[in-house]
Chains A and B, each alone.
Chain A
Amino acid sequence: MHYLTDPWHIGFSRHALIAGILAGALCGLVGVYVVLRRMSYIGHGLSHAIFGGAVASYVANVNFYLGAGIWGFVSALLINGVSRRRQIGADAAIGVVTTASFAIGVALISHVHHLTVNPDAALFGNILGVSISGLYILLGVFVFVGAVVFFRYRQLLFITFDPEVADAYGVNSKRYDTLFALVMAATIVSTLQLLGVTLIAAIIVVPAIVGRLVTDSFGKLLIASMLIGALCSVVGIYISYYNDVASGATIVLVAATLFFVVFVVTALTARRRLSRLGEDHGSADIGGGPSVHVG
């Protein structure tokens, strides 16, 4: 039992667990919209873009959350704007905007010699090093995103499901795309230092696709994805705590393992159901001829 309670007695691991629950649930919630809009790569791309913003903020001596947040928001708007051009899909828009932004960060690091920050924390994350202020910002973003999803549930569902006709039904798709860009930027900026540029995409995408494998209801998927995200984070932090493995990587590995397990179990269940259906309905006597077996 003390295995479960011990990490809660130590300040930094307690903060990491709280941050993990909040970050996992937040990424899981946003991930549903990302996956269903077929923009899974946006988490990966936007985190890279925000890395450029984070370095630029540091060089310009601007607060990280403010500078990187604005940078991320503008990047997300640019992705939306570029992908609206029919010749360029969302995936290509993400590729162009985010790698260019990441390249700015890399160029600044190589050019500004007095840069003393270690980019490893931003690239690979350090959830055990979360600060109190970082925790409050994460909580604030969680409340903000939760409120947006709660109060704009139907509008966001509409633009995710059927964006082509949303405007005709009185749902301003451009306004909600902008709101979603803000949600994405806030989510990634607040979780970047915990999960890392290179790993954050997985914790956005995996809970949503695991949830999708187990439910056909949008409302249930939102809840399932949040719970899966939070669960993967907590389990990952426990494993990381007791085995001295990088926390961000452990969380992603837990999520990936869960995905494979659920994928195999749901595939086997579907197969079994199909073969049972074949046994029930697969034979038919037609005019006294031979039976036909299916499955």
Chain B
Amino acid sequence: MHHPIIEFESVSYTYGEGVVLDRISLTIPEGAFVGVVGPSGAGKTTMLKLISGTTKPAAGMVRIGSNGAKVRLAVVPQIEAIDWNFPVTVEEVVLLGRAADRRLVPWAQASARAEAREILDKLGIGQLAHRHIRNLSGGQQQRAFIARALMRKPELLLLDEPTAGVDVKTRHDILHLLHSLNHEGIAIVLTTHDLNAVAAHLPSLVCINRKLIAMGTPQEVLTPSVLSELYGADMVVIQQEGMLLIGDLPSAFKDEHARAQHPEEVPAAHFGEQPPPHAHDEGAGHTHQREG
């Protein structure tokens, strides 16, 4: 039985007159690996800020750790938020993970440098330690900031859109790396827009759109009805070889899709023709089961 590491009790957050998060209650246990999904403006980043304590809720209670024990957490920001022209090297960024240490002199201890080098080697970017951060690829930049977080020896790691703007291979490598960190006992919460990546890699998901829409395993929450409620758009969920594949349903193909499911009910519609009114009645997409 894992103790909770994050507890939200009816948490609300407002910005001006707008409600960003509305009475969210959830519990995330120690050692969990959770993805927070939802449309743009759903409150995903705000949720991370509330967990990290950099933002306070307007109402409700955010509890981090159990029995009053302090949890060491680290945050990996969105790479778009970083000034890549700032004059720092990869090693300097990583050593900032120890910025709060009670050390008077500006230079890092030899042991901290060795540790930074060890982490960078583990993440496969040890040879880039003295390179300026601007001269890294998207995946390497992400790893440099994960390395800074690991310098803090976190029990809870928060990542804001770690797979944004990277190619498929890099995305796979980053999620694989996060998996191995999770296996070492670090609880991980990340936000993402990439539904297929979280369906394939993450054991639990939280779906929010200002309110909590669903929470559970990808199989439980990535259903057409939840996705429709989450994004306000029809989406199709295909299960193939035990994997979930999610795609949006362009309106041009919506009738085709509905007809494939219920050929007796939906007459064929052609480009340029008005679709019959009941073709839209199905609303949300459908779950396909495919044999591998």
- Name A's B-contacting residues (CB within 8 A): 36, 86, 150-151, 153-155, 157-158, 160-162, 164-171, 212, 215-219, 221
Contacts and interface: CB of A to CB of B under 8 A. Distances in A.
A218 B104 contact: no
A169 B99 contact: yes
Nearest to A86: B15
Contact of A167 (B54, B88, B152): B54
Contacts of B132: 216
Contacts of B74: 168-169
Interface stretch (B76-84, B216-224, B276-284): B76-84
A169 B97 contact: yes
B271 interface: no
Interface string B90-116: 001101111111011110000000000
Contacts of A161: 83, 86, 88, 93, 96
Contacts of B103: 154
B52 interface: yes
Given A155-B99, A168-B52, A219-B106, A162 B87 contact: no
Interface of B: 15, 52-54, 73-75, 77, 81-83, 86-89, 92-93, 95-101, 103-106, 132, 134, 152, 158
Contact of A212 (B54, B87, B99, B152): B87
B77 A154 contact: no
Contacts of A151: 104-106
B96 A157 contact: yes
A218 B54 contact: no
A161 B90 CA distance: 13
Contact of B92 (A86, A166, A169, A218): A218
A42 to B, nearest CB: 17
Contact of A168 (B75, B83, B88, B105): B75
Given A217-B87, A217-B89, A165 B100 contact: no
Nearest to A153: B106
A216 B100 CA distance: 24
Contacts of B158: 168
A157 B96 CA distance: 8
A161 B106 CA distance: 16
Nearest to A161: B86
Which 10 A-B pairs give the minimum distances between C-beta atoms?
A170-B100, A153-B106, A168-B52, A154-B99, A165-B75, A168-B75, A158-B99, A216-B132, A167-B54, A218-B87
A162 B96 contact: yes
Nearest to B55: A167
Contacts of B54: 164-165, 167-168
Given A150-B106, A212-B87, A219-B106, A170 B99 contact: yes
B51 to A, nearest CB: 9
Contacts of A150: 105-106
B77 A165 contact: yes
Nearest to A219: B106
B10 to A, nearest CB: 23
A157 B87 CA distance: 10
A162 B87 CA distance: 12
A168 B73 contact: yes
B284 to A, nearest CB: 36
B78 to A, nearest CB: 9
Contacts of A219: 106
B152 A169 contact: yes
Given A164-B81, A169-B99, A154 B106 contact: yes
Contacts of A160: 86
Nearest to B135: A216
A165 B159 CA distance: 11
A151 B54 CA distance: 25
A238 B86 CA distance: 34
B89 A216 contact: yes
A151 B105 CA distance: 6
A148 to B, nearest CB: 11
Contacts of A165: 52, 54, 75, 77
